[in-house]
Amino acid sequence: MSQETEKEIQNNQEENTSEDVESVKNPTEETAVEASEETPEETPEETPEETPEETSEDTKENTENADKEKEKEKDKPFWRDILEMFIYFVAVFLLAFLIVTFVGQRTVVDGSSMSPTLSDKDNLIVDKISYRFTDPKRFDVVVFPYQHAKRTFYIKRIIGLPGETVQIDPEGNIYIDGQILDEDYGAETILNPGRADVPITLGPDEYFVMGDNRNNSSDSRDYMVGNIKRKDLVGRAFVRIYPFKDFCIIKHGEE
């Protein structure tokens, strides 16, 4: 075979080989294109936008209600404001009156008759409700009105109870029904027994009271004070609120 013939055959084989390669590549490209057409790209799901219809409606309703309230306030006659204010002050006054009358009240110690337990200018709260449920006890510190002066109250300690007999001897000893009273509230020995230098028998609703400063106290030893009736007891000292440094609950003898 000649060399020219061999070259032609070789060229033909190379052309066939290149066509085969192209034919192999082309189907692959078509397949890829078809696959891309059959498999659509995934797109994120669209979330519906929230419509603020409900919120806006609520806001609108609240605004309308507020406007209505303002209109009502404007339409309310002036005399109703005065009436409401009057009712308010009456309620406050009534509450304060009930507290002062039946529960407790503030009082100020004037003088030193209860020294050293209480001092001059001490501010106290008097418990006015306890004696509505219980009877006064010995050594209670009580408040009662002075019968011979208006708006004057005394504060003393109960020594003798209803039905007892009280006497003070020349040595300053206190006797209850013939027995010496065991107590140490008095700051010093009693020098003046007053009307108690003889036995004093108390009535069924009477109390014998004395100040702790025994030689500087006007109390049941004095004829101007005498025995104190149950109905005249305003209450008992409950707490000292001033001076602040001396704030304390008042302790009574049998507590």
Per the annotation, the verdict on 229 as an active-site residue is: no
Q: Where are the strands (E) in the chain, listed by range?
A: 104-108, 123-127, 141-145, 153-160, 165-168, 174-176, 179-180, 200-201, 206-210, 228-229, 235-242, 248-249
Token duo for residue 164 = 């007892």
Q: Which of 113, 128, 217, 220 is catalytic?
A: 113
**Bridge partner residues of 240 (DSSP):** 124, 248
Q: Which of 128, 156, 217, 220 is catalytic?
A: 156
d(CA 253, CA 129): 19
What single-letter DSSP state applies at residue 151?
T
The distance of Cα 64 from the centroid of its chain, to the nearest Å, equals: 38
In this structure, are residues 111 and 121 in contact, taking their beta carbons and an 8 Å threshold?
no
DSSP letter string, 94-131: HHHHHIIIIIEEEEE--SSTTTTTS-TT-EEEEE-SGG
Closest Cα partner for 254 from 239, 227, 228, 236?
A: 236
Token duo for residue 220 = 């049941």
Q: What angle do CA 172, 183, 241 make, to 5 degrees?
A: 115
Per the annotation, the verdict on 231 as an active-site residue is: no
d(CA 49, CA 243): 70
Q: Could you list the active site residues?
A: 113, 156
